[in-house]
């Protein structure tokens, strides 16, 4: 099908930013740092938020947490030097209310200008200070005499920007770029019939609106991102992400993979050595996986299942299929402790079948590392490890299957990197054989955070999904309570009592956003307290700064029941499995995400004994924290908790990808805009099938610039 638009004439968006009037070489460079290289990159560089300087708020009406514009006369000024230079300026709007402006960075001229009697117009965030409301580093300007205040006529957009490029200048450039927007029909990439079917309004109008909301724009709606113009853009952004993941999937599925079929005798022997029977859900999911593996197209499957649903066995069965067919398996986990746990399980299960399991982590170095790499290059059947498996120098002989555990902690980027790694079939003489196409391994992704369906559709559109929706029999639900840290002593007494009954206890110390060193210190404090109460020889300590061998020793002692209490940092978050442990205490629980709390809690409730979870919190609790702890007390259902987490915190947090930012949309918000996803899927399907050219153009428009930026 011919492209709808002849490129040169009707695609002014593809021209370089230098074609925008007033954009010279220096600005081109600065814009490039923001990933803005073409005119359309400027069109789609959307405001993060808006500032409302269209009115002046009376001081009596100011609320902490809001941004406001205020007018007032300087009443008093104080310069302090106690800890660091500080300038405090009290202003008064004549109503008897005052507001404190606080500056930590200021120059002489500024200080000299801000003298009593000066009239100021300020804009900033209102906060609670020690002596009432204040603004830290407000924007401000002096007003002359008794002139009436000239307020802005429209909301000011605030754009993501970079050093050396002020908001005014950037807004100016974007404004000039917007003047180059083609007529609506030429800008639209979603076919008109689909737009009509799904009630999508004009993209051109939407863009103009969000960049320059009119004076009467409903600010409250805009702030929440619920204005139809924003929703129109959110739709297109979600659609683009969906298309891009589907495209990646198609690209992988075009390749060949080795068909992997399990040897029935081997499988029977494996199942016979297990101490349990597979649940129906495990059987169903294993069958789905086996079916995929037998194909010559690469499997791309996500297995999701609540904590303790038994995903490891499903992975092991898949590994057996690969080994049976003479191919290698790589199993990767996000933390060393979890990887070690897999190593332990896999060795225990596979050694009796005569299958060796290799181990590779960052800490395997020198000769040991060279030997492992050597054996892997020669075809060692199973390699377990951390993300060290992705590093250079790890070359497989015939990699047939890649298993990634706790996927959500890796993120899309790493998932794709690993996939690329698997593509190097160079060491395998047979790899290139089928139809001359490159062979790639099958991919199995495991996640214990049940991903809300809406999110899965969007973030994992490149994967098929299987669910282990049943727990092994004999589990008892965990009783959860929240207790203030002020009653820490009572909790220690309860732990003491539980130990006296022969129960085992996890005590988890969490301090997020601090260093590993501080985390270790916090754990050492708790360790000392509990040792004093229960006896030094009965309390173990495990944290991220310990050597793997040392951690393993403590873990083994806890498993064997020699230790009654295990004090740990969140390194035990995922995967650790000690069925006799039935009490879990989590410190600073108010600071953790629900998904993480659920993971932690999932470490208990694995045996037949009723289990307890104590969520210790630092008072006072905010409203949101209170709500979150309540969810934990009310529910043991990972799916419900994940839905709630999504609602309360947003998808980046839920997927653990906030730092890598690859799910950070410009305008869409999965929690808010989930209702758009069914239509996004339909339109996506249709465009991939019937309008592939426009699909590519959409990806270029929304992701192109950012992708070029990421690779720079
Ligand atoms: P997760 O899905 O959280 O990774 P695991 O694979 O670690 O769960 O399994 C949790 C525990 O349940 C392990 O001790 C495992 O041996 C056990 N288990 C797995 N499947 C079954 C089953 N069908 N019946 C009983 N216990 C099982
Ligand atoms: Mg697991």
Whether 573 shows a pLDDT value over 60: the answer reads: no
Are 49 and 94 contained in the same domain?
A: no
Phi first, then psi: give them for residue 613, nearest 5 degrees. Answer: -130, 130
Ligand nearest to the CA of 307: 1
Average pLDDT over residues 453-469: 76
The protein residue whose alpha carbon is closest to atom 17 in ligand 1 is 310
DSSP code for 335: S
Pair 300, 434 in one domain: yes
pLDDT bucket at 334, cuts 50 / 70 / 90: confident
CA of 458 to the centre of ligand 1 (A): 29
Helix (H, G, I), strand (E, B) or coil at 382: strand
Q: According to the model, what pLDDT value does residue 6 have?
A: 43
What three-state secondary structure class fits 279? coil
What is the pLDDT averaged over residues 166-188? Answer: 93
Are 285 and 391 members of one domain?
yes
Phi, psi of 140 (to 5 degrees): -150, 155
Q: pLDDT category, 536, cuts 50, 70, 90?
A: confident
Of the pLDDT bands very low, low, confident and very high (cuts 50, 70, 90), residue 144 is confident
Atom of ligand 1 nearest to the CA of 312: 6
Indicate the pLDDT class of residue 427, thresholds 50, 70 and 90: very low
End of a domain among 468, 492, 523? Answer: 468
Report pLDDT digits (tens) over 57-76. 999 899 877 788 999 999 99
The arithmetic mean of pLDDT across residues 298-313, rounded, is 89
Residue 296 CB contacts under 8 Å (≥ 6 apart), including other chains? 256, 257, 258, 259, 434
- 39 and 59 share a domain? no
The confidence score (pLDDT) of residue 421 equals 56
Whether residue 212 contacts residue 192, with contact meaning beta carbons closer than 8 Å, is answered with no
- Range from 75-84, 225-234, 244-253 that averages highest in pLDDT: 225-234
Query: What does the pLDDT read at residue 2?
Result: 45
The rounded Å distance from CA 311 to ligand 1 centre is 7
Alpha carbon of 518 to ligand 2 centroid (Å): 27
For the cut 80, the answer to whether the pLDDT of residue 254 exceeds it is yes
| pLDDT of 211 | 95
Task: Note whether 159 and 171 are within 8 A (CB).
Answer: yes
Q: Which of 437, 468, 499 is the last residue of a domain?
A: 468
pLDDT at 299: 93
Kindly state whether residue 135 falls inside one of the protein's structural domains: yes
pLDDT at 29 over 70: yes
Going by the DSSP 8-state scheme, the letter that residue 353 receives in this structure is: G
Least confident of 33-47, 293-307, 592-606: 592-606
Q: Whose CA is nearest to atom 18 of ligand 1?
A: 310
Other beta carbons within 10 angstroms of residue 234's beta carbon come to 24
Distance between CA 508 and CA 429 in Å, rounded?
Answer: 50
Q: Which of 88-92, 319-323, 595-599 has the highest mean pLDDT?
A: 319-323
Q: Which two tokens stand for residue 699?
A: 């990806």
Q: Which residues contact 330 (CB under 8 A, 6 or more apart)?
A: 383, 384, 385, 389, 396, 399, 401, 402, 403, 422, 441
The residue ranking higher by pLDDT, 104 or 687, is: 687
The tens digit of pLDDT for each residue in 77-130 reads: 988 776 677 889 999 988 888 999 988 888 888 888 889 999 999 998 888 877
For ligand 1, residues with CB inside 6 Å are: 276-279, 282, 305, 307-313, 448, 472, 577, 579, 606
Residue 410 pLDDT > 80 = no
Nearest Cα neighbor of 52 from 140, 122, 154, 167 is 154
Least confident of 12-21, 227-236, 568-577, 691-700: 568-577
Supply the pLDDT for residue 544.
74
Whether 594 maps to a domain, the answer reads yes
User: Phi, psi at residue 134, to the nearest 5°?
Assistant: -150, 165
In a domain? residue 232: no
Q: Which of 449, 472, 475, 605 to mutate to test the pocket of ligand 1 (most atoms within 8 A of CB)?
A: 472
The per-residue pLDDT for range 477-498, each reduced to its tens digit, is 899 999 998 899 999 999 999 9
The minimum-distance atom of ligand 1 relative to the CA of 307 is 3
Could you tell me if 101 and 192 lie in one domain?
no
For the chain, give the percent of residues with pLDDT over 70: 85
Domain boundary among 635, 663, 696: 635
Question: Taking 90 as the threshold, does the pLDDT of residue 381 lie above it?
Answer: yes
What's the pLDDT band for 9 if we cut at 50, 70, 90?
Answer: very low
- If asked whether residues 338 and 445 sit together in one domain, one would say yes
Mean pLDDT, residues 684-703? 92
Question: 385 pLDDT exceeds 70?
Answer: yes
Q: Ligand 1 test: best mutation among 279, 286, 308, 310, most atoms within 8 Å of CB?
A: 310
The whole-number average pLDDT for the span 249-258 is: 86
Most confident of the ranges 189-193, 337-341, 436-440: 189-193
| Helix H or strand E encompassing 399 | strand 399-404
Is position 398 within any domain? yes
Query: Helix, strand, coil proportions of the chain in percent (round to 5)?
Result: 45, 20, 35
**For the stretch 603-640, what's the b/e string if a residue is b when 16 or more beta carbons lie within 10 angstroms of its beta carbon?**
bbbbbebebbbbbbbeeeeeeebeebbebbeebbebbb
Report the distance separating Cα 525 and Cα 531, nearest Å: 10
Residue 201 has pLDDT above 70, yes or no: yes
- For residue 197, pLDDT over 50 is answered with yes
**DSSP H or E stretch at residue 697:** helix 692-699
For the chain, the domain total comes to 4
Q: Read off the DSSP letter of residue 115.
A: -
Residue 474 domain-assigned (yes or no): no
pLDDT of 423 above 60? no
Q: Is the model's pLDDT at 422 over the cut of 80?
A: no
Which pLDDT does position 712 carry in this prediction? 33
Same-domain status, 135 and 212:
no
Give the ligand with the smallest distance to the CA of 333: 2
| Cα 472 from chain centroid (whole Å) | 29
Please tell me the number of the ligand nearest to residue 469's CA.
Answer: 1
Ligand 2 centroid – CA 312 distance (Å): 6
CATH number at residue 554: 3.40.50.300
- Residue found under tokens 């938020």: 49
Q: Which ligand is nearest to the CA of 605?
A: 1
Question: Are both 180 and 271 inside the same structural domain?
Answer: no
Main-chain phi, psi angles of 176, to 5 degrees: -65, -35
In a domain, 193, yes or no: yes
How many Å apart are CA 330 and CA 398, to the nearest integer?
11
121 within a domain of the structure (yes/no):
yes
Reply yes or no on whether the pLDDT at 562 is more than 60: yes
In the predicted structure, residue 178 carries a pLDDT above the cut 50: yes
> In the numeric block, which tokens belong to residue 399?
């990699």
φ, ψ of residue 295 to 5 degrees: the values are -85, 165
Q: Classify the C-alpha dihedral 458-459-464-465 as positive or negative.
A: negative
Ligand nearest to the CA of 468: 1
Backbone angles phi, psi at 581, to 5 degrees: -75, 125
Annotate 25-62 with three-state secondary structure: HHHHHHHHHCCCCEHHHHHCCCCCEEECCCCCCCHHHC
Q: Is residue 10 located within the same domain as residue 143? A: no
Q: What's the average model confidence in pLDDT over 446-453? A: 70
pLDDT confidence band for 431 (50 / 70 / 90)? very low
Residues 6+ apart with CB under 8 A from 151: 53, 54, 55, 56, 69
Instruction: Give the range with max mean pLDDT: 196-200, 212-216, 446-450.
Output: 196-200
pLDDT at 546: 82
Question: Above pLDDT 90, what percent of the chain?
Answer: 44
For residues 605-623, give the mean pLDDT.
85
CA angle 365, 367, 369 (to 5 degrees): 45
Average pLDDT, the chain: 84
Neighbours of 544 (CB within 10 A): 17
Distance 587 CA to ligand 2 centre (A): 23
Q: Do residues 377 and 447 share a domain? A: yes
- Nearest-CA residue for atom 19 of ligand 1: 310
Domain that holds residue 77: 55-151
Kindly give the distance from the C-alpha atom of residue 575 to the centroid of ligand 2, in angstroms, as a whole number: 4
DSSP run (H or E) holding 624? helix 623-634
- Sign of CA pseudo-dihedral 90, 95, 97, 101: negative
| Over residues 343-364, mean pLDDT | 92
Cα 689 from Cα 120, distance rounded (Å): 60
| Antiparallel, parallel or unpaired: β 67-80 and 611-617 | unpaired
Compute, in angstroms, the gap from residue 349 CA to the centroid of ligand 2: 15
45/66 same-domain check: no
Instruction: Verify that 537 and 498 share a domain, yes or no.
Output: yes
Cα of 487 from ligand 2 centre, angstroms:
33
Q: Is residue 644 part of a domain?
A: no
> What are the tens digits of pLDDT across the range 82-93?
667 788 999 998
Q: What is the mean pLDDT of residues 347-353?
A: 94
């Amino acid at each position: 099908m011919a492209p709808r638009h002849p490129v040169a004439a009707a695609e002014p968006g593809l021209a370089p930013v230098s074609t925008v009037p007033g954009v010279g070489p220096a600005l081109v460079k600065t814009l490039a740092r923001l990933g803005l290289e073409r005119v359309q990159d400027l069109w789609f560089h959307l405001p993060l938020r808006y500032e409302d300087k269209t009115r002046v708020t009376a001081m009596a009406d100011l609320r902490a947490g809001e941004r406001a514009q205020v007018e007032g006369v300087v009443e008093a000024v104080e310069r302090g030097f106690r800890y660091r230079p500080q300038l405090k300026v009290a202003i008064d709007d004549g109503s008897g209310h005052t507001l404190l402006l606080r500056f930590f960075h200021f120059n002489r001229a500024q200080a000299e200008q801000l003298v009593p009697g000066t009239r100021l117009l300020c804009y900033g965030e209102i906060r609670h200070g020690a002596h009432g409301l204040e603004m830290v580093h407000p924007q401000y300007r002096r007003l002359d005499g008794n002139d009436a205040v000239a307020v802005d006529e429209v909301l000011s957009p605030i754009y993501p920007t970079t050093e050396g490029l002020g908001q005014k200048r950037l807004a100016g450039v974007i404004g000039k770029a917007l003047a180059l927007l083609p007529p609506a029909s030429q800008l639209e990439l979603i076919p008109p019939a689909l737009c009509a079917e799904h009630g999508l309004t004009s993209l051109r109008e939407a863009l103009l609106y969000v960049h320059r909301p009119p004076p009467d724009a409903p600010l409250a709606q805009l702030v929440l991102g619920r204005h139809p113009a924003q929703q129109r853009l959110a739709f297109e952004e979600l659609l683009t992400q969906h298309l891009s993941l589907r495209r990646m999937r198609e690209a992988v599925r075009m390749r060949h993979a080795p068909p992997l079929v399990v040897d029935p005798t081997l499988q029977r022997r494996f199942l016979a050595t297990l101490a349990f029977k597979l649940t129906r859900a495990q059987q169903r999911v294993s069958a789905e996986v086996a079916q995929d593996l037998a194909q010559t197209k690469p499997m791309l499957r996500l297995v999701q299942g609540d904590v303790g649903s038994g995903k490891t066995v499903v992975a092991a069965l898949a590994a057996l299929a690969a080994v049976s067919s003479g191919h290698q398996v790589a199993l990767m986990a996000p933390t060393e402790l979890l990887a070690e746990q897999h190593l332990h399980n896999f060795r225990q299960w596979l050694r009796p079948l005569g299958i060796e399991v290799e181990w590779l982590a960052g800490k395997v170095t020198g000769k040991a590392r060279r030997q492992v790499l050597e054996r892997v290059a020669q075809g060692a059947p199973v390699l377990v490890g951390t993300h060290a498996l992705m590093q250079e120098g790890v070359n497989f002989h015939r990699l047939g299957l890649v298993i990634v555990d706790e996927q959500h902690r890796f993120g899309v980027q790493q998932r794709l990197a690993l996939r690329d790694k698997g593509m190097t079939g160079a060491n395998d003489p047979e790899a290139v054989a089928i139809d001359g196409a490159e062979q790639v391994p099958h991919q199995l992704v495991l996640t214990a955070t049940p991903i809300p369906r809406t999110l899965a559709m969007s973030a994992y559109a490149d994967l098929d999904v299987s669910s282990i929706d049943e727990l092994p029999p004999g589990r008892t639900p965990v009783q959860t309570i929240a207790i203030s840290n002020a009653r820490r002593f009572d909790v220690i007494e309860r732990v003491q009592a539980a130990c006296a009954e022969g129960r085992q206890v996890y005590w988890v110390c969490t301090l997020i956003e601090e260093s590993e060193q501080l985390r270790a210190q916090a754990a050492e404090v708790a360790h000392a307290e509990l040792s004093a109460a229960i006896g030094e020889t009965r309390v173990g300590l495990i944290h991220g700064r310990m050597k793997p061998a040392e951690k393993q020793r403590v873990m083994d002692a806890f498993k064997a029941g020699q230790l009654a209490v295990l004090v740990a940092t969140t390194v035990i978050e995922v995967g650790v499995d000690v069925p006799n442990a039935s009490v879990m205490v989590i410190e600073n629980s108010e600071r953790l995400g629900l998904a993480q709390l659920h993971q932690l809690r999932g470490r208990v409730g694995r045996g037949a004994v009723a289990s307890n979870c104590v969520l210790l919190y630092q008072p006072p609790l905010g409203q949101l924290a209170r709500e979150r702890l309540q969810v934990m007390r009310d529910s043991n259902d990972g799916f419900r908790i994940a839905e709630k987490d999504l609602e309360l915190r947003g998808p980046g947090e839920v997927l653990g990808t906030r730092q890598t930012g690859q799910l950070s949309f410009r305008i869409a918000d999965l929690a808010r805009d989930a209702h758009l996803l069914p239509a996004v899927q339909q339109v996506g399907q249709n465009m991939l099938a019937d309008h592939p050219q426009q699909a590519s153009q959409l990806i270029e428009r929304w992701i192109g610039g950012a992708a070029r930026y990421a690779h720079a």
